Structure 1
């Protein structure tokens, strides 16, 4: 019995010791991760040491000027009001974010996660960061969830999807969308595409 306990304790220590996250390396903040090809990977970030805080999800941190997801700065995020929602979603007083991407027109006060890739606020339903063209928000139901997602530059996305030509490509340079399925009483969606 003792060897089994020792094995599990050792395994737990190894797994937690190799967890990715922010730490100080040589006196500077860095995001440290581990992979099979390189081993320990250290990526330094420019952060204000006096105000740097690691959030409860160790992939996120903030200082007085920026919010970080791993080594990415989340554009437009307000560190003073930034909070985690969960499952890759976060918000501040102005915007909602999926990973490090700003959701297009999402209201942080009424935002709710649904089964990925879908979410909603009081007036819109989203597939990833994209608002859907939807007539019946109240009957919207996810019929198939999917964790798969794709990210593409907004201008290229609009070329293939001209119905989204109104997106401000300067404010939203990238869009992220997923591959679930959903429906309302009169509509069906395959990812962000209305199919009926």
Structure 2
């Protein structure tokens, strides 16, 4: 009888344990509450509401990451995207920045209150842009457009409405916004023109006035060759400008800024005088070392960018890096001979060492000039 009671007691405990475990598993009673985090911090306030990765609010305060909006109307506060928010009284643009002295250590938050925005119609367009029924904004600052009702953002640089396209909030001259679209690389088009945008060519007379230009091309035969070059059946274009004297049919891009046709060699937009296109080769070593300039050669001469090294020996010339080269008799820095340098023992440091970037058996040099130890 005693053994039976012990068995019954054990059986009841086992059944209780099994049933209790089943109930906990079904209702999650044995699981710890999942931690809620915002901006890397654990949230314990049950009234705390995360709106997106950047904005949140509790019963008394709205937040942009670490920044507390003590003046926000919390019940009506809403996030529009990762940067824009609004309540019944104001619209806000928020972002982060770093200060120079502590650049890698801390981020700080910046909040721009957008005054005079029409809150009923205020919306985010993405990429830092927003609008209401009458005004366009970028990073919370108003800018002028021709038709705000049709304004959309393309990326952080480009917007368009049905009238015009805009680059950095400035109208693209001659553009038709309704049909404007970006192409591959640095090119765009609309129903009227094809455009090149970005850096428009060192030394070009229109450089300061143009961050985008209309390519004077034949549209039907236009082709993009890479991020700088394009052509049609009659002309070649570099950064959107006509590459004078280039033969479109035989034009080909080489490496390190060089190109050629059957008549000429080019370095970027410049003709390489005296270079033979049939035998021109670009030194593969250009890409193996630190350098600001590039070397190439044909059957009789060595070139740095568009300039000829007047006495370099093609048969023995080699690229050393950091804008140095050498042949059996001389060391060159860019196009100039390095005086008193021995090509047999000359080496270039991978990084500047003290006040020098190179040395031979007896001297040290910096940018082609001998320096004292």
Q: Give yes or no for TM over 0.5.
A: yes
Instruction: Deviation per CA, 1:128-175: give whole Å up to 9, x if none.
Output: 363424131222222222xxxxxxxxxxxxxxxxxxxxxxxxxxxxxx
Structure-2 residue corresponding to 1:155: none
Q: Distance in 2 between matches of 1:92 and 1:193?
A: 27
Structure-2 residue corresponding to 1:21: 83
Instruction: Deviation per CA, 1:59-88: give whole Å up to 9, x if none.
Output: 121112111122343322422122234574
Instruction: State whether structure 2 residue 122 is matched by structure 1 residue 52.
Output: yes
Instruction: State whether structure 2 residue 263 is matched by structure 1 residue 181.
Output: no
Report if aligned partners of 1:20, 1:34 keep a CA contact under 8 Å in 2. Answer: no
Structure-1 residue corresponding to 2:143: 74
Say if 1:110 and 1:24 are closer, same or farther in 2 by CA, change over 3 A: closer
Report if aligned partners of 2:153, 2:159 keep a CA contact under 8 Å in 1. Answer: yes
Q: Distance in 2 between matches of 1:109 and 1:24?
A: 29
Structure-1 residue corresponding to 2:297: none
Shift >6 Å, 4+ stretches: none
Structure-2 residue corresponding to 1:114: 183
Q: Distance in 2 between matches of 1:190 and 1:132?
A: 12
Q: How far did residue 49 of structure 1 move?
A: 2.0
Q: Mind listing any 5+ residue stretches in structure 1 that lack a counterpart? A: 1-5, 146-179
Say if 1:109 and 1:16 are closer, same or farther in 2 by CA, change over 3 A: same
Structure-2 residue corresponding to 1:190: 238
Report if aligned partners of 1:67, 1:78 keep a CA contact under 8 Å in 2. Answer: no
TM-score of the superposed pair, with normalisation by structure 2: 0.35
Report if aligned partners of 2:127, 2:153 keep a CA contact under 8 Å in 1. Answer: no
Q: Distance in 2 between matches of 1:45 and 1:136?
A: 45
Say if 1:68 and 1:122 are closer, same or farther in 2 by CA, change over 3 A: same
Say if 1:136 and 1:32 are closer, same or farther in 2 by CA, change over 3 A: same
Say if 1:69 and 1:127 are closer, same or farther in 2 by CA, change over 3 A: same
Does 1 or 2 have the higher relative contact order (CA < 8 Å, sep 6+)?
1
Q: Distance in 2 between matches of 1:26 and 1:32?
A: 17
Structure-1 residue corresponding to 2:212: 130
Q: Mind listing any 5+ residue stretches in structure 2 that lack a counterpart? A: 1-34, 41-49, 55-64, 66-80, 100-106, 198-210, 245-373
Structure-2 residue corresponding to 1:166: none
Q: Distance in 1 between matches of 2:185 and 2:193?
A: 15
Larger Rg: 2
Structure-1 residue corresponding to 2:162: 93
Please report the RMSD computed on the Cα atoms of aligned residues, expressed in angstroms. Answer: 3.2
Say if 1:44 and 1:188 are closer, same or farther in 2 by CA, change over 3 A: farther
Report if aligned partners of 2:229, 2:237 keep a CA contact under 8 Å in 1. Answer: yes
Q: Distance in 1 between matches of 2:223 and 2:108?
A: 43
Say if 1:58 and 1:123 are closer, same or farther in 2 by CA, change over 3 A: closer
Instruction: Deviation per CA, 1:78-102: give whole Å up to 9, x if none.
Output: 2212223457433222111234221
